[in-house]
Homo-oligomer: A and B are copies of this chain.
Amino acid sequence: MNSKKVNDLCVNSLRCLAVDMVEAANSGHPGLPLGAAPMAYLLWDRFLRHNPKNPNWFNRDRFVLSAGHGSALLYALLHVMGYELPLAEIKKFRQWGSRTPGHPEFGVTVGVETTTGPLGQGFTNGVGMAMAERFLADKFNRDDYPIVDHYTYAIVSDGDLMEGVSSEAASLAGTWKLGKIIYLYDDNHITIDGGTHLSFTEDVGKRFEAYGWHVQRIPDGNDLGAIEKAIRIARKQTNKPSLIMVRTHIGFGSPKQDSASAHGEPLGPEAIKKTKKSLGWPLDKDFYIPEEALIRFRQAVDRGAEEEAKWQKLMERYRREHPDLSLKFEKAIKGALPEDWDDNLPVFNLEDGPLATRSASGKVLNVLAEKMDNLVGGSADLAPSNKTMQLGKSLFGIDDTWGPNVHFGVREHAMAAITNGLALHGGIFPYTGTFLVFSDYMRPALRLAAMMQTRSIFIFTHDSICVGEDGPTHQPVEQLMSLRTIPGLTVIRPADANETTEAWRLALTLPGPVALILTRQKLPVIDRERYTIEGGVARGAYLLSESDPTGVDIFLVVTGSEVHLALDAQIELKNIGIKASVVSMPSWELFEKQPEEYKRSILPPDVPKLAIEAGSTLGWYKYVGSSGDVIGIDRFGVSAPGETICEKFGFSVAEVVSRATRLLNK
């Protein structure tokens, strides 16, 4: 069989598999697979270095389907290439319990590198993956030992390129000269609302050139030769990320070709027949893969095994030549911490304070960085405020250094989505930094971090109205509570420097993402001689200070900067004969994971409770109950010095005493 015929069979196999999947599910997106199958086939067959039998081979090329709605195409590829995704799963597309969900989900399907669907995210994750590759290559590769050496490919759509997050990421990728990024743009001129002339008339290629990308244009998306040539040229661009604009036709071959209705609805039995007919496909077969096509596709299995074997041999030699480095490398790619990573974590004493928790965090980070050289991160242009710099270490991607300090610019959203990519790639412990109020800019990426359970650390400083003069636009109010609503994200708001150390310890060892919520203002260091902290942060909440061994009238349940206020109020309350115990509650999520017995011991149902937190009160009633009260903030802040605001907003000993008294008199 000649190669043109095999190519056609392969491309049309992918197309028809995808169409049949959508039809069987009666739900999904046939348009993208029909148009983009040729570029996907060509990339996976000719270029993508991957091992279907070991999808986690570390040095594989990464492939991201940023246009996640085209998931059927990705599942078809994984199946035909020999991944552990049998036809039975393909037939259960979008059904309960299947491994072929509506949009690709990391962790659900082998070979899926990241969860995509919300547009712009996959594009940006890919930048993070390429960044990880560059960072690790610089650190571990030695002459003749390119042990980290792979490309990051993606198929991206109009929607991906319209989203602001991809603009942010593209600008950074250009600045960092990430030449191993090769993105194929499925340029089909159609969105859900209609033609791209309705909303997307810009010169995309010129825009990417402005970012410092290498741009190529392919007028016919079915021209495999042109795609192959373009990818070869792109691979030669070592200093520029590549965008290959491939003019395709959504719904190619179907009666709905080039129409918005091809985008997100099943074709229907009649149109499927017409489509298959126009593609020269048998009309009586569903999920059909001709043998010649399958043989061709499955060459990927041997090819992949060979590629990995070659790399394993290289690794063997590398182990001999560079034993220390290779040990470090293998630890890194397993995601393991150095054995003595937390030996020197700082313990803060009374005389170290008062100290902002952001400053304590900066100190902890820098101690960690002495032992860990794969802590990689930075801030969205607030490094001096967020204390995210690793002192004495170099920058990433600037002036030809590839160090761990990253300047993301004022691009919070890309920072978070790139960080997801860094974490997914592996080999790195990534972190970010910005003001808590700007977590709003990052939410879509935070959600995906939580969904994928990537191990990332999101540092948020300036965590309340105590920010002061910058005013309501910079004072978080609802952010803390609304981060707590994200399933799978662990939010920790330490009360002082030592709780901050513990928060970092957890952030590096918990399986999923962690948000650290830190103050701008200085806080006293809580006296560890007097108040136990041991293990308390890990349990989410703990009894910090018992009023009196003989009993308790009221619990003050408090987080972060309000804990020392509660300790002060405790003394005042004692003076007027009220026994108040103080519970420090740095993390709701960790507390929820404790046994019921522990929870009841910390927050006994029958004792009145007053919660104190400089943020939205909305969720607190779960813990204080119907008979409890909350000192919080359910309005926007104001511009004034921080101490004035705190006082005016009721964060004072007098107010705590008054509210506690009122509560007990109810």
As a 0/1 sequence over residues 195 to 217 of chain A, the CB contacts with chain B under 8 angstroms (1 = contact) are 00111111111110111100000
A450, B636: Cα distance in complex, Å: 9
A474, B194: Cα distance in complex, Å: 21
**Cβ of A116 under 8 Å from chain B:** yes
A469 pairs with B28, CB closer than 8 A? yes
User: Which of the 9-residue segments A100-108, A284-292, A522-530 touches chain B?
Assistant: A100-108
Residue of B nearest to A645 (CB): B96
User: Which of the 9-residue segments A273-281, A348-356, A404-412, A654-662 touches chain B?
Assistant: A404-412
A379, B260: Cα distance in complex, Å: 15
Which B residues are in CB contact (< 8 Å) with A626? 605, 625-627
- Residue from A175, A622, A639 whose CB has the most chain B CB atoms within 10 Å: A639
Determine how close the nearest CB of chain B comes to the CB of A569; give it in whole angstroms.
23
**Cβ of A257 under 8 Å from chain B:** no
**Cβ of A94 under 8 Å from chain B:** yes
**Cβ of A634 under 8 Å from chain B:** yes
**Cβ of A482 under 8 Å from chain B:** yes
As a 0/1 sequence over residues 218 to 236 of chain A, the CB contacts with chain B under 8 angstroms (1 = contact) are 0000000000000000000
Which B residues are in CB contact (< 8 Å) with A209? 203, 206
Q: How many protomers of this protein does the assembly include?
A: 2
Determine how close the nearest CB of chain B comes to the CB of A424; give it in whole angstroms.
15
Determine how close the nearest CB of chain B comes to the CB of A480; give it in whole angstroms.
9
Residue of B nearest to A204 (CB): B210
Determine how close the nearest CB of chain B comes to the CB of A459; give it in whole angstroms.
15
Which B residues are in CB contact (< 8 Å) with A381? 159, 162, 191-193, 199
A162 pairs with B158, CB closer than 8 A? no
Residue of B nearest to A124 (CB): B164
B487 pairs with A478, CB closer than 8 A? yes
Known contacts: A410-B163, A440-B443. The answer to whether A202 contacts B212 by CB under 8 A is yes
User: Which one of B115, B119, B382 contacts A192 once the chains associate, using CB atoms below 8 Å?
Assistant: B382
A451 pairs with B636, CB closer than 8 A? yes
B200 pairs with A211, CB closer than 8 A? no
B474 pairs with A102, CB closer than 8 A? yes
B199 pairs with A172, CB closer than 8 A? yes
Which B residues are in CB contact (< 8 Å) with A105? 471-473, 639
User: Which one of B25, B192, B451 contacts A469 once the chains associate, using CB atoms below 8 Å?
Assistant: B25
Which B residues are in CB contact (< 8 Å) with A411? 162-164, 199
**Cβ of A147 under 8 Å from chain B:** no
**Cβ of A616 under 8 Å from chain B:** yes
Within 8 A of B (CB), among A165-196: 165-168, 171-172, 174-175, 191-194
A199, B398: Cα distance in complex, Å: 8
As a 0/1 sequence over residues 428 to 467 of chain A, the CB contacts with chain B under 8 angstroms (1 = contact) are 0000000001101101100110110000000000000000
Residue of B nearest to A488 (CB): B636
Which B residues are in CB contact (< 8 Å) with A191? 381, 409-410
Determine how close the nearest CB of chain B comes to the CB of A67; give it in whole angstroms.
11
- Residue from A410, A411, A444, A626 whose CB has the most chain B CB atoms within 10 Å: A410
User: Which one of B210, B407, B477, B640 contacts A95 once the chains associate, using CB atoms below 8 Å?
Assistant: B640
Determine how close the nearest CB of chain B comes to the CB of A602; give it in whole angstroms.
16
A472 pairs with B444, CB closer than 8 A? no
Determine how close the nearest CB of chain B comes to the CB of A193; give it in whole angstroms.
5
Known contacts: A486-B478, A487-B634. The answer to whether A116 contacts B444 by CB under 8 A is no
Residue of B nearest to A471 (CB): B102
User: Which one of B205, B473, B605, B638 contacts A68 once the chains associate, using CB atoms below 8 Å?
Assistant: B473
Within 8 A of B (CB), among A456-506: 468-474, 477-478, 481-482, 484-488
A484, B617: Cα distance in complex, Å: 11
- Residue from A210, A409, A619 whose CB has the most chain B CB atoms within 10 Å: A409
Which B residues are in CB contact (< 8 Å) with A607? none
B96 pairs with A644, CB closer than 8 A? yes
Residue of B nearest to A414 (CB): B164
User: Which one of B164, B207, B640, B641 contacts A413 once the chains associate, using CB atoms below 8 Å?
Assistant: B164
A620, B156: Cα distance in complex, Å: 40
A94 pairs with B162, CB closer than 8 A? no
Known contacts: A210-B207, A485-B481, A618-B485. The answer to whether A102 contacts B168 by CB under 8 A is no
B168 pairs with A163, CB closer than 8 A? yes
Determine how close the nearest CB of chain B comes to the CB of A362; give it in whole angstroms.
15
**Cβ of A648 under 8 Å from chain B:** yes
User: Which one of B27, B28, B482 contacts A482 once the chains associate, using CB atoms below 8 Å?
Assistant: B482
As a 0/1 sequence over residues 614 to 634 of chain A, the CB contacts with chain B under 8 angstroms (1 = contact) are 001011011001110000001
Determine how close the nearest CB of chain B comes to the CB of A178; give it in whole angstroms.
13
Within 8 A of B (CB), among A131-180: 158-160, 162-168, 171-172, 174-175
A117, B639: Cα distance in complex, Å: 12
B202 pairs with A210, CB closer than 8 A? yes
**Cβ of A593 under 8 Å from chain B:** no
A640 pairs with B96, CB closer than 8 A? yes
Residue of B nearest to A439 (CB): B443
B165 pairs with A164, CB closer than 8 A? yes
Residue of B nearest to A443 (CB): B440
Known contacts: A95-B640, A471-B105. The answer to whether A212 contacts B201 by CB under 8 A is yes
Determine how close the nearest CB of chain B comes to the CB of A8; give it in whole angstroms.
31
* 21 intermolecular pairs with C-beta atoms under 8 Å apart: A27-B641, A101-B472, A117-B471, A119-B410, A160-B410, A164-B164, A167-B168, A175-B202, A191-B410, A192-B381, A198-B398, A202-B210, A203-B209, A203-B211, A203-B212, A207-B211, A451-B473, A478-B487, A481-B485, A484-B618, A487-B635
Q: Which 4 A-B pairs have the closest CB atoms?
A: A164-B164, A199-B409, A101-B639, A117-B473
> Could you list which residues of chain A lie within 8 angstroms of chain B, going by C-beta atoms?
25, 27-28, 68, 94-98, 101-103, 105, 115-120, 158-160, 162-168, 171-172, 174-175, 191-194, 197-207, 209-212, 379, 381-385, 395, 398, 407-411, 413-414, 437-438, 440-441, 443-444, 447-448, 450-451, 468-474, 477-478, 481-482, 484-488, 605, 616, 618-619, 621-622, 625-627, 634-636, 638-641, 644-645, 648
Known: A96-B648, A203-B209, A447-B478. 12 other contacts (CB 8 A): A103-B470, A116-B473, A118-B473, A193-B383, A198-B407, A199-B411, A200-B409, A210-B210, A478-B485, A481-B485, A484-B618, A621-B625
